């Protein structure tokens, strides 16, 4: 198998709409609506749980959209994920930074990979002790679940604020378009919502925290770019919430392939993918929890980055 899948496997479909993704969008919004209204009124804890799960799924659907799904029209696809139930990350900023992340030769680069969790080793000694403690805790899975969303949000907003101050109009536009998307959520919550706002805010945070399970070890420091991206052979509820993005090396090799086609691609070429990523592989998220819940997987300073 070449680094590119067969044309019929990796090219966008000719159909105007990919029905599995579109129907999943409908179910996601319906589940979020039920969770924030009827189910919260009937039994608040169940309503909160469903709301959290739908916020997580919505972010995964945004990821599908930025890679060209479910409609042939980009404008129509982006309109479908315009509401911002997760509140924290503007879709346009997610789109732009994530597509930059897909330059595989720069994966894990502390400067050029917007999604890298590594720091330049020359910066690490200059951090205050409390900053090093926070970042070390963030590199265990428990820390990533508890504070990971806050750590990444602060770093993300700080970087974007610097860009706006330097005159980057695209970054500013991304945040300005985020405002009406968030407003739609608050209008819904105020109009028909049965989940109190003080509880919705931590629910949104929890939705982002679940996503940190997926991103926790998606990429590692490795001399070869092809060896930096993981495969987690999980087929449980988390794989569905993440829309099979746990098969991450498959996604990076074929970023235009829709989520529901990734498992077959992996099954048909399993040995080739594991050879390509130098066997960076886990059997399940359960294995990851057992191994790294309370233990760091990686150092925070990039382990093979030259000190500048």
CA angle 122, 124, 125 (to 5 degrees): 85
User: Among residues 165, 189, 216, which one ends one of the domains?
Assistant: 216
In a domain, 7, yes or no: no
Is residue 249 within 8 Å of residue 230, measured between CB atoms?
yes
Judgement on whether residues 209 and 268 belong to the same structural domain of the protein: no
pLDDT of the residue at 306: 78
Mean pLDDT of the chain, nearest integer: 94
In a domain, 32, yes or no: yes
Is residue 36 within 8 Å of residue 195, measured between CB atoms?
yes
In a domain, 9, yes or no: no
Domain count along the chain: 2
In a domain, 237, yes or no: yes
Judgement on whether residues 159 and 129 belong to the same structural domain of the protein: yes
For residues 228-253, one letter each, b for 16 or more C-beta atoms within 10 angstroms of the residue's C-beta and e for the rest, the string is bbbbbbbeeebbbbbbbbbbbbbbbb
Whether residue 4 has pLDDT greater than 60: no
pLDDT of the residue at 16: 85
Whether residue 233 has pLDDT greater than 50: yes
Q: Classify residue 243 as left (phi > 0), alpha (psi -120 to 50) or beta.
A: left
d(CA 213, CA 145): 7
Judgement on whether residues 154 and 60 belong to the same structural domain of the protein: yes
Judgement on whether residues 47 and 124 belong to the same structural domain of the protein: yes
User: Among residues 153, 187, 216, which one ends one of the domains?
Assistant: 216
Q: What is the mean pLDDT of residues 255-271?
A: 97
In a domain, 252, yes or no: yes
- pLDDT category of residue 15 using cuts at 50, 70 and 90: confident
Q: For the chain, what's the residue count?
A: 308
Q: Which domain holds residue 257?
A: 224-292
Judgement on whether residues 150 and 35 belong to the same structural domain of the protein: yes
Judgement on whether residues 86 and 109 belong to the same structural domain of the protein: yes
CA-to-CA separations, 148 to 21, 92, 142, 212, 304, in angstroms, rounded: 28, 21, 9, 7, 23
* Virtual torsion, Cα 73, 75, 76, 81, nearest 10 deg: 130
Judgement on whether residues 108 and 63 belong to the same structural domain of the protein: yes
Judgement on whether residues 79 and 151 belong to the same structural domain of the protein: yes
User: Among residues 195, 216, 237, which one ends one of the domains?
Assistant: 216
What is the per-residue pLDDT across 109-150, written as a single tens digit (0 to 9) for each? 999 999 999 999 999 999 999 999 999 999 999 999 999 999
- Percent of the chain having pLDDT more than 90? 93
Whether residue 58 has pLDDT greater than 90: yes
Judgement on whether residues 163 and 248 belong to the same structural domain of the protein: no
DSSP character string of 270-292? HHHHHHHTTT-EES-HHHHHHHH
Judgement on whether residues 174 and 38 belong to the same structural domain of the protein: yes
Q: Within 13 Å, how many C-alpha atoms sit on residue 31's CB side? A: 18
In a domain, 197, yes or no: yes
In a domain, 300, yes or no: no
pLDDT of the residue at 159: 96
Spatial CB neighbours of 111, under 8 Å, sequence gap ≥ 6: 120
Judgement on whether residues 233 and 203 belong to the same structural domain of the protein: no
In a domain, 97, yes or no: yes
What is the per-residue pLDDT across 178-217, written as a single tens digit (0 to 9) for each? 999 999 999 999 999 999 999 999 999 999 999 999 999 9
CA-to-CA separations, 139 to 23, 117, 160, 240, 308, in angstroms, rounded: 36, 8, 23, 24, 23
Judgement on whether residues 210 and 228 belong to the same structural domain of the protein: no
* Virtual torsion, Cα 158, 163, 165, 170, nearest 10 deg: -120
């Amino acid at each position: 198998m070449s680094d590119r899948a067969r044309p019929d496997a990796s090219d966008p479909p000719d159909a105007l709409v990919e029905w599995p993704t579109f129907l999943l969008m409908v179910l996601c919004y319906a589940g979020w609506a039920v969770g924030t209204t009827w189910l919260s009124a009937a039994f608040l804890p169940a309503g909160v749980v469903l709301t959290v799960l739908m916020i997580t799924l919505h972010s995964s659907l945004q990821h599908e959209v930025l890679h060209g799904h479910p409609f042939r029209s980009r404008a129509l696809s982006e309109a479908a994920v315009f509401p911002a139930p997760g509140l924290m990350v503007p879709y346009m900023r997610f789109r732009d930074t994530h597509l930059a992340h897909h330059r595989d030769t720069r994966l894990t680069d502390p400067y050029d990979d917007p999604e890298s969790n590594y720091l330049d080793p020359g910066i690490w000694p200059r951090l205050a002790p409390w900053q090093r403690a926070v970042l070390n805790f963030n590199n265990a899975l428990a820390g990533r679940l508890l504070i990971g969303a806050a750590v990444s949000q602060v770093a993300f907003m700080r970087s974007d604020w610097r860009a706006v101050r330097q005159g980057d109009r695209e970054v500013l536009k991304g945040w300005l378009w985020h405002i009406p998307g968030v407003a739609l959520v608050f209008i819904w919550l105020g109009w028909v919502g049965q989940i109190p706002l003080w509880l919705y805010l931590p629910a949104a945070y929890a939705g982002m925290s679940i996503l940190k399970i997926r991103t926790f070890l998606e990429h590692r420091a490795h001399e070869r770019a092809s060896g930096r991206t993981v495969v987690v052979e999980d087929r449980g509820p988390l794989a569905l919430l993440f829309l099979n993005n746990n098969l991450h090396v498959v996604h990076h090799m074929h970023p235009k392939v829709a989520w529901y086609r990734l498992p077959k691609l992996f099954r048909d070429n399993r040995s080739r993918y594991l050879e390509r990523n130098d066997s960076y592989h886990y059997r399940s998220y359960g294995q990851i929890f057992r191994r790294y819940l309370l233990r760091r997987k990686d150092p925070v300073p990039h382990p093979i980055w030259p000190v500048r």
